[in-house]
Amino acid sequence: MSIDLVDAPGPQPEASRHDLTRTGKAHRRQVKRSALREVDFTGRPDPISLLEEQAATRVPNLVPIRHGRMAQSQFAFFRGAALVMADDLARSPSSDLRVQLCGDAHLSNFGVYATPERRLVFDVNDFDETYPGPFEWDVKRLSASLAVAARDRGFATEQCRSIARGAATAYRIRMGELAGLGHLDVWYSHIDADTVFKEFRSRIDAETVGRAKGAVRKARRRTSMQALGKLTRVVDGRRQIVSDPPLIIRIADLLEGPEFDRMYTLLLERFAAYKETLQWDRRVLLERYRMIDFALKVVGVGSVGTRCWIGLFEGADGEDPLFLQVKEAEKSVLARYVSGPDIGHQGERVVNGQRLCQEASDIFLGWDRGEGLDGEVHDFYVRQLRDGKLSAQVDTFSPELLELYGRLCGRTLAQAHARAGDRFAIAGYLGSGGVFDDSMAEFALPYAEQNTADHAALLAAIDSGRVQARLDM
């Protein structure tokens, strides 16, 4: 049964653009745009307790890796603290203009990937936390992430403010443009990676241009064939994934005899069930591959500790590989803070949210439910492991380049929200002035300061032994 994710739908056919825009303007009287800057940290839950609460559902021996990765920097902590920020957002003024939120729209969750037509596009590329909610929650997450990253890099306060504000400005301007387009034009809108490069080229130095060209070339090479050389080797004439405990562990290295046979049978059954969630022609394509090997894999920062698998599949021969990633989907961190639909399958939630917000998604994007190594049943979503995917190395960016990148993310986020919500009402609420932009900047800076304190609290919890962390992963 399909899930209707957006409980506050997009523009209604019987309403005119003028009426919908006027509705958005009316929301200003209920919640002023200037009120969106307000953030109150008094009485908030202990952020470390929230992280410990999340750890309770994760793989125990991987939780220290998650904490260790979050401890590496203020920005790394921010990436893993989506639940902490969701709690803060829930106690802040809300526009009540709802969209299908990306849910974790920090700047590293944007990037390049290959469409089914093999175009490289720039878009949001992580939807683990997607859920309906107020549109500004995503914008606040993005603006705050830019302020945190800028602060982590040692940029001046005014530079941090300008960078955070720029993303909101780009969001507002692009939403206004999209409100002037028809539904199909909005649905097909996208940002080509080559177009991004051309826009940036006149505004960055020659050395950065060279790095950008190299990054685009690298993205085009990030395929299953490239992963084959990095993640596998031939042993006794058979291709297998290389174990690198605890980050990558083959199932064959964990289980043996009847236990391995049982798990392998379960994986085949789950693979068959997952295929049923795909479009028919893509099932036909996928059925031409056979499973060769499976392994557990640690991914990301905030996702560390969730159950994540990678599968190696072989097509015509050993030089025709396909890597799929099977990633656990838990409840969105937003679900406890906003009213929303009754989600029966968390993997389906992620997939439907991604398909709604992205112009083009992975052809093998689907979902699954099955038993894990712990004997418990979990929800998962599936996608290709590598398909032209690339994220920017923002820790090398200058203030000027980080602001350009933030504006690009703001434009991209507006396109996702325009597809998944009422762009006319949101554009009406935002208006043509800079009030909203200022509010996002004035929210982002104190939030970055609080994030610094929360990061310090994590370091103190590690030092005291309250939280276990592996700092070498």
Mean pLDDT per 10-residue segment, the chain (473 residues): 50 75 90 96 96 96 97 97 98 95 96 87 94 97 98 96 98 97 94 82 74 71 82 92 95 92 89 95 96 93 94 91 95 94 94 94 95 90 84 86 95 97 96 97 98 98 97 86
Give the CA count within 13 Å in the CB-facing half-sphere of 348.
16
Q: Give the pLDDT of residue 118.
A: 83
| DSSP per position, 271-294 | HHHHHTTS-HHHHHHHTT-EEEEE
**Same domain, yes or no: 33 and 162:** yes
**Same domain, yes or no: 215 and 273:** no
Which pair of structure tokens corresponds to residue 216?
Answer: 């685009």
Helices (H) and strands (E) in the chain — how many of each?
Answer: 18, 13
**Same domain, yes or no: 191 and 257:** no
Q: Give the pLDDT of residue 1.
A: 34
**Same domain, yes or no: 23 and 165:** yes
The answer as to whether 4 is a domain residue is no
**Same domain, yes or no: 244 and 325:** yes
Q: Which of 328, 360, 384 is the last residue of a domain?
A: 384
Query: Is the separation of the CB atoms in 332 and 323 below 8 Å?
Result: no
The answer as to whether 80 is a domain residue is yes
The answer as to whether 469 is a domain residue is no
Residue 434 and residue 165: Cα distance in Å, rounded? 9
**Same domain, yes or no: 215 and 228:** no
**Same domain, yes or no: 450 and 338:** no
Give the CA count within 13 Å in the CB-facing half-sphere of 419.
25
Closest alpha carbon to 213 in 359, 407, 390: 390
**Same domain, yes or no: 170 and 289:** no
Q: Which of 344, 368, 384 is the last residue of a domain?
A: 384
**Same domain, yes or no: 297 and 344:** yes
Which pair of structure tokens corresponds to residue 27?
Answer: 């929301």
The answer as to whether 265 is a domain residue is yes
Which pair of structure tokens corresponds to residue 246?
Answer: 């605890």
The answer as to whether 471 is a domain residue is no
Domain of residue 29: give its range: 17-221+392-464
Q: Give the pLDDT of residue 374.
A: 87
The answer as to whether 472 is a domain residue is no
Q: Which of 353, 384, 415 is the last residue of a domain?
A: 384
Q: With 0-12 CB in 10 A as exposed, 13-18 as middle and 19+ as buried, what is 107?
A: buried
Q: Give the pLDDT of residue 305.
A: 92
Domain count, the chain: 2
What is the tens place of the pLDDT at every residue in 60-85? Answer: 999 999 999 999 999 999 999 999 99
Q: Give the pLDDT of residue 83.
A: 98
The answer as to whether 399 is a domain residue is yes
Alpha helix ranges (H) inside 2-133: 17-30, 47-55, 63-71, 74-80, 82-90
Owner of token pair 């729209």: 105
The answer as to whether 116 is a domain residue is yes
Closest alpha carbon to 440 in 79, 23, 77, 35: 35
Residue 384 and residue 375: Cα distance in Å, rounded? 25
| DSSP per position, 302-360 | TTBTB-EEEEEEE-SSTTSEEEEEEEE----TTTTTS-----S-HHHHHHHHHHHH-SS
**Same domain, yes or no: 459 and 409:** yes
Alpha helix ranges (H) inside 31-103: 47-55, 63-71, 74-80, 82-90
**Same domain, yes or no: 176 and 323:** no
Q: Give the pLDDT of residue 384.
A: 93
Q: Give the pLDDT of residue 7.
A: 56
**Same domain, yes or no: 145 and 183:** yes
DSSP β-bridge partners for residue 322: 313
Q: Give the pLDDT of residue 23.
A: 87
Q: Give the pLDDT of residue 218.
A: 73
